[in-house]
């Protein structure tokens, strides 16, 4: 079994971020199911079922990505990009949700800005040589 303590810093950082997002969406999934009636009473543009599905998919995808990172699977990188696309979609929908719920329109800009920052950090982490070596992806020059 692979020891997590042997992971390089960028890999550990990436794993920590994936686990944070995964935990966040597991909690959001559980909260949205438990507060189903309240979400329905808000009469939002975004259906509560869409919010639940996004949380469920990200929680599942994040769990698989975390295992792929720990076990050095090269497909984990492709799933990370898929996860970032899903995360971006979820953030845009969240911005719509908060604006509908009486939130400030600038909050939408903040959420999209955070999403772009996260993408930048993931691009930086995935471009590190130690990260590529961890997944067995090497420069072919």
pLDDT in tens, 73-87: 888 888 887 777 767
Q: What is the pLDDT of residue 26?
A: 92
User: Domain for residue 22, yes or no?
Assistant: yes
Full-prediction pTM beyond 0.95?
no
Kindly report the average pLDDT of the chain as a whole number: 77
Q: What value does the CA radius of gyration of the chain take, rounded to a whole number of Å?
A: 17
User: Domain for residue 4, yes or no?
Assistant: no
Q: What is the pLDDT of residue 30?
A: 92
| DSSP label of 3 | -
Q: What is the pLDDT of residues 88-139, one digit of tens each?
A: 776 676 666 666 555 555 666 676 777 777 777 777 777 778 777 888 765 4
User: Domain for residue 71, yes or no?
Assistant: yes
State the Cα torsion 42-43-44-50 to the nearest 10°.
100
Domain extent, residue 121, equals 9-135
The count of structural domains within the chain is 1
User: Domain for residue 38, yes or no?
Assistant: yes
Q: Which of 7-16, 62-71, 106-115 has the highest mean pLDDT?
A: 62-71
How many residues are present in the chain? 141
Query: Residue 14 is encoded by which pair of tokens?
Result: 């990436």
68 or 74, greater pLDDT: 68
Check pLDDT > 60 for residue 2: no
């Amino acid at each position: 079994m692979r020891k997590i303590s042997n992971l390089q810093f960028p890999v550990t950082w990436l794993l920590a971020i994936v686990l944070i997002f995964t935990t966040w969406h597991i909690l959001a999934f559980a909260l949205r199911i438990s507060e189903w009636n309240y979400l329905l009473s808000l009469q939002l543009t975004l259906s509560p079922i869409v919010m639940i599905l996004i949380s469920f998919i990200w929680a599942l995808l994040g769990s698989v990505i975390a295992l792929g990172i720990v076990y050095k699977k090269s497909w984990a990188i492709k799933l990370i990009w898929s996860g970032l696309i899903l995360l971006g979609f979820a953030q845009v929908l969240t911005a719509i949700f908060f604006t509908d719920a009486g939130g400030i329109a600038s909050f939408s800009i903040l959420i999209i800005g955070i999403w772009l920052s996260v993408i930048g950090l993931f691009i930086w982490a995935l471009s590190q040589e130690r990260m590529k070596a961890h997944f067995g992806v090497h420069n072919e020059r």
